Structure 1
Amino acid sequence: MGYWSINSLIIFALCALLAGVLIPQILLIAYRRNLFDEVDERKIHKGLVPRLGGIAFVPVIIVSIAVLLEGNMKLGFSAFGDALSDCFLPLLSAFIALELLYLVGLADDLIGIKYRAKFVVQLICAIFLIGGGVWFSTLGGALGIEEVSPWFGYPFTVVVLVFLINAINLIDGIDGLASGLSSIACMIYGISFMFLGEYALAIVSFATLGVLVPFYYYNVFGDVTKHRKIFMGDTGSLTIGLILGVLGTLLYVHPSTELIGVHPSIIAFSPLIVPCFDVIRVYMLRIRQHRSPFLPDKSHIHHKLLAAGMKPRMAMVTIVSVSALFTLVNFFLAAYLNVNINIIVILDVVVWTGANCWLSSTIKRRQAEGKAA
């Protein structure tokens, strides 16, 4: 474990260093070439801000893992190479899918792409991943179902992966939100894979966390007037969503029946509750209002918190804290009260629905008071 802890720290530091060096260069190019995020009625930021931060993510992760592998081999340590070979096909398919989605995201950030084209590429990426062995061969006890056949598992995996990619993309509405939620998930996944002995997947988790930390700094604390602020754009949100989808799926279907007293499936879905539940609620709302579920609006959870009177940064901190709280409570329920996954999901849905109803009533009351004044 000591060997892998050191490698995890190295990959995190290496990714953080490289991303910290690369992001200022991306900022410099963006300002010289006038590559900015367009301001419209849905955006809350002011000033010209580049949306190309995600360009740094995939190259930094891949280069850092390659450097770490070479360093281990040069020093005579073969364990890292063995760990990579143990999950070679899943990681190979993940890197292929990442490259495809990276190019689509980059094109969308630079010139714009219709959501139908992005959707098709996401389907192709999901098919590549299934070919590499990343698919739901079990539901982990959800609805009382354990093992499932490929006839169900393959299409179910496509739906879940595409859903997760878009969930991270759609939650990226205020500074630090998508990166904050993703960082929590990467940290939890990294620690979980370490305890499960899936060290290569732990390295990928900590590498992703490493690129998110410097981006979070520039995104949240960057000064627009000093040309130090940046957004991740679709290049970042789509690829991070794919990485979380791959890691979450592999953790969910892990053959271990217990992870520190908790089934891996519970740890896999808990950090993603907020973006997933929010997208489901927003899609249902748009369909009920006879609008396309794919067209943007201001009905996401961060928009509701802003409408309730919160400042953007406080809204971000609140949502990220709620995500961490969901994970901790679910862990406690499973580990110490032996609550199964079905009851936990029901409780999560009840709490989420209740919180949203309370928030909606708060917004209506605030709007009524504003009109009365």
Structure 2
Amino acid sequence: MIQELLAYFNPLDYLGIWLFTAFILAFFVSWSTFPAIFKVSEAKQLMDEPSSRSVHASRTPNLGGIGIFFSLVVVITTFGGLLDTKILLLLLGGMTVLFFLGLKDDLLILSPKKKFIGQLLAALVLIIFTDTRIMGFFGIFGITILPYWFSVIFTLFVYILIINAYNLIDGVDGLAGSLALFACAAFSYVFFKTEDASMITIAVATIGSLLPFLRLNFSKKNKIFMGDTGSMIIGFLVAFFVVRFISEAQVVRTSTFYKSAPVLAVAIVFFPLLDTLRIFFIRLIIHKTSPFKADRNHLHHCYLNLGFTHVHTTLVVVVINILIFILALLIKDIDIHLQLLIVLCVGSFLYGSIFIYCGLFKIKTNSKMPEHVR
């Protein structure tokens, strides 16, 4: 009898209860995991040591990504049997690869080359075996359908770009986690509109896993960082949501977002992409150094130099990104080229005051830490 009920069960018929359960489960597992992470970190001295470019002055546990990962594992293994099992298992496999790479980097330091290879492997397996890829540009630049090989390469590029974008912005309390929270909320909305039960379940579960982490990440007493473990996992998930959303919108011509999916995806990850492209330009063109060489030229560092607190920095960045997404939703039915132009111009304008103040070609490389920074 149970098997018959499960065979005909459709999460979309009970979506409210289904998503609430997934959220609560992820939240509970994440919440329950952090006390153990604190104890192990303190007992084994697994702490992030402050450096010359750090925005904190005390030794802090940096294994917050473990709690996020475990909560998502529990949700996927518990709910996955009634969803798109193949995609979720491959997604879990990719997350596991990045989990161990990130964990090793947080504990022992891993070379950028090895991290890059691991990211490629995790993304490539998901692309090849699920055929979830960006198949075209929706007429942007006059390109509709891409050759298969180029589609795979471009999708890989999107994965690598977004994974590393979230890794690079993880420099201020709550910033990477809050932007990931917003991204998951935005994708929950668009996947709800497209009735993609598997993706909306994972997006809502990710929100549940991030909330306990953010409470601690913003805390002054029991602070914890997500580390590379967490930033790579959430970057990978957001990248997958981007690719899945664009891919499904392109396949289903009757989709609500058929004419706007790429622009909406860009709007959702606008700040991480903007900061990453900016920092690569500064490092490669201005300073002529490795794009992976750490410095204090990120936009969040510019906010701190202006005297903003960590909370104010995160709040301003996230609110602006939300406004960009809302704008993209409002103009989703006009010509896609005009959509893209408006989003890029307005988004750049909203963040432009930071560029103007710091001076794009007069970047401060040895600025002193603001007094409020711990």
Partner of 1:250: 244
Percent identical residues: 27
Partner of 2:101: 104
Match of 1:231 among 193, 203, 225: 225
Partner of 1:166: 164
> 1:4 Cα shift?
1.6
Distance (whole Å) between structure 2 residues aligned to residue 208 and residue 354 of structure 1? 30
Distance (whole Å) between structure 1 residues aligned to residue 196 and residue 346 of structure 2? 33
Alignment of structure 1 residues 5-154 onto 2, 5 Å: 5-68=16-79, 81=82, 83-85=83-85, 88=86, 90-132=87-129, 133-154=131-152
Q: Where does structure 1 lack aligned partners over 5 or more consecutive residues?
A: 70-79
1:210 aligns with 2:208: yes
How big is each residue's C-alpha offset from its partner over 1:319-362, in whole Å with a ceiling of 9 and x where there is no partner? 0111111100111122xxx3333223223333344455532433
> 1:18 Cα shift?
0.8
How big is each residue's C-alpha offset from its partner over 1:180-235, in whole Å with a ceiling of 9 and x where there is no partner? 00011111112221221210111111111110111111101x233xxx11000000
Alignment of structure 1 residues 245-324 onto 2, 5 Å: 245-254=239-248, 255-257=251-253, 258-259=255-256, 263-289=260-286, 290-324=288-322
Distance (whole Å) between structure 2 residues aligned to residue 261 and residue 138 of structure 1? 12
Q: Where does structure 2 lack aligned partners over 5 or more consecutive residues?
A: 1-11, 368-374
Distance (whole Å) between structure 1 residues aligned to residue 352 and residue 322 of structure 2? 21
Residue aligned with 1:190, SS: helix
> 1:32 Cα shift?
1.5
Contact kept in structure 2, 1:139 and 1:253, CA below 8 Å: no
Which has the larger helix fraction?
Answer: 1
Contact kept in structure 2, 1:11 and 1:65, CA below 8 Å: no
Contact kept in structure 2, 1:193 and 1:201, CA below 8 Å: yes
Aligned AA (1:250): R
> How many residues align structurally?
346
> 1:272 Cα shift?
0.4
Contact kept in structure 2, 1:137 and 1:153, CA below 8 Å: yes
Distance (whole Å) between structure 1 residues aligned to residue 266 and residue 344 of structure 2? 13
Q: Give the TM-score normalised by structure 2.
A: 0.87
Partner of 2:334: 339
Q: Per the alignment, do residues 5 and 285 of structure 1 end up closer, same or farther by CA in structure 2, a change over 3 Å counting?
A: same
Distance (whole Å) between structure 1 residues aligned to residue 202 and residue 141 of structure 2? 31
Q: What CA RMSD, in Å, does the superposition of the two structures yield over aligned residues?
A: 2.1
Aligned AA (1:319): V
Distance (whole Å) between structure 1 residues aligned to residue 180 and residue 20 of structure 2? 18
Q: Per the alignment, do residues 321 and 356 of structure 1 end up closer, same or farther by CA in structure 2, a change over 3 Å counting?
A: closer
Residue aligned with 1:164, SS: helix
Q: Which sits farther off after the overlay, 164-173 or 191-200?
A: 191-200
> 1:47 Cα shift?
1.6
Contact kept in structure 2, 1:93 and 1:131, CA below 8 Å: no
Contact kept in structure 2, 1:44 and 1:174, CA below 8 Å: yes
Distance (whole Å) between structure 1 residues aligned to residue 143 and residue 293 of structure 2? 34
Distance (whole Å) between structure 2 residues aligned to residue 150 and residue 260 of structure 1? 23
Aligned AA (2:289): R
Contact kept in structure 1, 2:324 and 2:347, CA below 8 Å: no
How big is each residue's C-alpha offset from its partner over 1:297-338, in whole Å with a ceiling of 9 and x where there is no partner? 11111011112222221111000111111100111122xxx3
Contact kept in structure 2, 1:252 and 1:269, CA below 8 Å: no
Partner of 2:5: none
> 1:163 Cα shift?
0.7
Partner of 1:73: none
> 1:2 Cα shift?
5.0
Q: Which sits farther off after the overlay, 347-356 or 135-144?
A: 347-356
Q: Which sits farther off after the overlay, 139-148 or 325-334?
A: 139-148
